[in-house]
């Protein structure tokens, strides 16, 4: 009895019009992630603040060193230290969501893409915006005396805050507001809605620094909307960061010069 030679059969293939499709790749974090971010940010701020106070109490109990966190200038340094630590904790959450959970390239996903327009133009735009915002504040009666301006009466405080306001603050805030929060909102609701929502969220945390004066909150919303518009139209986060740095830089420079000349000039940052 002879056996017929075995011939392998071709693997079955799906017809071109088959409804079976590969699962779609998720290339953007969701509203659940944004909600988790808000909850995490609030809880981590409370925990970081309580942890810092506990650490200060431990210093006093075990080593006899207690930082007077409510007395100038220690209140400023304490607040900046706590805010820096909290910012680092929040950035870890952003890194986890973008780079680990969704396995996206962190810089590209947040918007760190090359700018088609030289960044120097956005620096100039930030300076112009700073002048416009300061002038508008004068017209609508924005208060000059706020909790932040009280801190800035210490000459050393201006230099310390200047480093944070010009370098660290804009970088962190743009990563969060015009990077992590902006992108999913822009994709689902459009650029205009994303600008409005992120600008409102941007202005709100600054309220305590300026005594919740509505005039300054309006100005901060306008500044945030300007950064958001640049972010939207450029498609890159770099222009918004540079513009924000220049905006804050001019105001810090005015504060330093006003102190040197003995002139009381203050503007919202």
Let me know if 18 is exposed, middle or buried by CB neighbors in 10 A (0-12, 13-18, 19+): exposed
Both 136 and 50 in a single domain? no
Domain match, 157 and 260 both: yes
| 238 located within any domain | yes
Q: Assess whether pLDDT exceeds 90 at residue 97.
A: yes
Both tokens of 50, joined, read 């309580």
Q: Are residues 230 and 170 in the same domain?
A: yes
Cα gap 56→58, rounded to integer Å: 5
Instruction: Tell me which of 56 and 69 has the higher pLDDT.
Output: 56
Question: What does the pLDDT look like over 211-238, one tens digit per residue?
Answer: 778 888 999 999 999 999 999 999 999 9
166 in the same domain as 216: yes
For residue 268, the model assigns a pLDDT of 46
Taking only the tens place, the pLDDT of each residue in 195-206 is 999 999 999 887
Distant-in-sequence, close-in-space partners of 134: CB < 8 Å, separation ≥ 6: 251, 254, 267
| HSE (side-chain half, CA atoms, 13 Å) at 47 | 10
pLDDT of residue 27: 62
Q: Is residue 15 assigned to a domain?
A: no
Q: What is the mean pLDDT of residues 4-9?
A: 50
The boundaries of the domain holding residue 87 are: 28-104
For residue 180, being part of any structural domain is answered with yes
User: How is residue 116 written in tokens?
Assistant: 């088609």
Residues 137 and 234 in one domain: yes
Q: Is the pLDDT of residue 248 over 80?
A: yes
Same domain (yes/no): 227, 138: yes
Taking residues 8-27, what's their average pLDDT? 46
Q: How confident is the model at residue 76 (pLDDT cuts 50, 70, 90)?
A: confident
The string of pLDDT tens digits covering residues 19-52 is 444 333 456 899 999 999 999 999 999 999 999 9
Looking at residue 149, its pLDDT comes to: 66
Of 249, 229, 239, 228, residue with least CA distance to 130: 249
Judge if 36 and 152 occupy the same domain.
Answer: no
The answer to whether residues 221 and 203 touch, using CB atoms and an 8 Å cutoff, is yes
Q: Domain for residue 8, yes or no?
A: no
Q: What is the pLDDT of residue 126?
A: 97
* Comparison of pLDDT for 115 and 77, the residue scoring more: 115
165 with 235, same domain?
yes
Q: Is 12 contained in some domain? A: no
Query: Which residues 6+ apart lie within 8 Å of 147 measured at CB?
Result: 208, 209, 210, 211
What does pLDDT average to over the chain? 84
Residue range 132-182, pLDDT digits in tens: 998 999 899 888 766 666 666 677 777 788 888 899 999 999 999 999 999
Q: Verify that 89 and 168 share a domain, yes or no.
A: no
* pLDDT level of residue 267 (50, 70, 90 thresholds): very low
If asked whether residues 49 and 159 sit together in one domain, one would say no
Domain total of the chain: 2
Q: Report residue 269's pLDDT band, with 50, 70 and 90 as the boundaries.
A: very low
- Could you tell me if residue 90 is inside a domain? yes
Report the distance separating Cα 110 and Cα 237, nearest Å: 7
Residues 132 and 265 in one domain: yes
pLDDT at res. 41: 94
Helices (H), the chain: 31-62, 74-95, 106-110, 119-139, 147-151, 155-163, 169-175, 182-189, 191-203, 214-234, 238-261
- Chain Cα centroid distance, residue 241: 10
Residue 11's Cβ-count burial label (10 Å; 0-12, 13-18, 19+) is: exposed
- Whether residues 50 and 131 share a domain: the answer is no
For residues 197 and 118, the answer to whether their CB atoms sit within 8 Å is: no
């Amino acid at each position: 009895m002879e056996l017929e030679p075995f011939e392998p059969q071709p693997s079955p293939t799906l017809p071109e019009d088959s409804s079976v499709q590969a699962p779609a790749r998720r290339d953007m974090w969701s509203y659940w992630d944004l909600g988790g971010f808000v909850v995490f940010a609030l809880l981590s701020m409370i925990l970081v603040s309580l942890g810092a106070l506990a650490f200060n109490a431990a210093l006093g109990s075990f080593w006899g060193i207690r930082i007077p966190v409510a007395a100038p200038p220690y209140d400023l340094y304490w607040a900046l230290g706590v805010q820096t630590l909290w910012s680092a904790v929040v950035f870890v959450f952003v890194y986890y969501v973008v780079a680990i959970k969704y396995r996206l390239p962190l810089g590209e996903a947040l918007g760190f893409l090359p700018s088609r327009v030289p960044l120097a133009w956005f620096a100039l735009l930030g300076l112009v915006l700073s002048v416009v915002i300061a002038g508008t504040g004068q017209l609508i009666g924005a208060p000059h005396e706020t909790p932040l301006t009280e801190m800035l009466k210490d000459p050393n405080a201006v230099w310390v805050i200047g480093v944070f306001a010009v370098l660290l603050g804009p970088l962190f805030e743009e990563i969060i507001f015009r990077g992590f929060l902006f992108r999913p909102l822009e994709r689902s609701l459009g650029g205009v809605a994303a600008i409005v929502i992120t600008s409102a969220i941007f202005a709100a945390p600054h309220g305590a620094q300026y005594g919740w004066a509505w005039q300054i909150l309006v100005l901060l919303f306008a500044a945030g909307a300007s950064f958001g518009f640049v972010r939207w139209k450029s498609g890159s986060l770099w222009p918004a960061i540079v513009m924000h740095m220049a905006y804050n830089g001019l105001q810090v420079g005015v504060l330093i010069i006003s102190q040197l000349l003995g002139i009381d000039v203050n503007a919202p940052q």
